[in-house]
Every structure is written in C-alpha cells, then in structure tokens.
Amino acid sequence: MFSAPSWKALLPHEMDQIEQVFADILRERRLSRDCETAEDIARRLIICFQDGIREPSALRGALGSAQHSTSRVDLAGH
C-alpha cells in the first residue's frame, strides 16, 4: 500500500534556520545560488530538516554524510 510522506509545512523561523545553513554552505563552497549544486544542497537540507535534524551543525553533518552514501536524501528523487 502506498503512503504519502508525513512532512509538514515549514514555519518562517524554520525556513530562516535552513536559509542560514544554506547560505553558510554556499559561502564556504563558493557556490552561486542559481547553480544546480546549490539547488541540490537546498533540497537535501529541507529533507534532512523534515526528517527531524534541527541543529545547524547536525544539518551540516547530515548533508556531508549524504554526499558520500546512498540514503533517503539521495534517493528522494525530488
């Protein structure tokens, strides 16, 4: 049986938190916001946040490990 993801809408303060981590990562990697890699980073940050990872350092860590392993983040297909 098919079940839809149980994700909820993100609140403004949650989007602000994700935005800060996103901006820091782009700055560190010297990436533009309008590149494909930046879109992938944003997508993976949101998925990790919706999976319950809330701390900025944990988001960064989850994003780093997701780049090197096959996980839900890689297989999300979004």
Task: Give residue 8's pLDDT.
Answer: 78
Task: Give residue 68's pLDDT.
Answer: 42
| Domain contains 41 | yes
| Domain contains 49 | yes
| Domain contains 3 | no
Give the span between the Cα atoms of 72 and 53, in whole angstroms: 14
| Domain contains 4 | no
30-63 tens-digit pLDDT: 999 999 999 999 999 999 999 999 999 999 998 8
- First-to-last CA distance in the chain? 21
Domain that holds residue 42: 12-75
DSSP state of 67: T
Give yes or no for a contact between 48 and 62, defined as CB atoms under 8 angstroms apart: yes
Structure tokens at 31: 């990436």
Task: Give residue 75's pLDDT.
Answer: 40
| Domain contains 1 | no
Structure tokens at 68: 């090197």
15-35 tens-digit pLDDT: 999 999 999 999 999 999 999
Give the span between the Cα atoms of 60 and 25, in whole angstroms: 8
Q: How many independent structural domains does the chain possess? A: 1
Task: Give residue 63's pLDDT.
Answer: 84
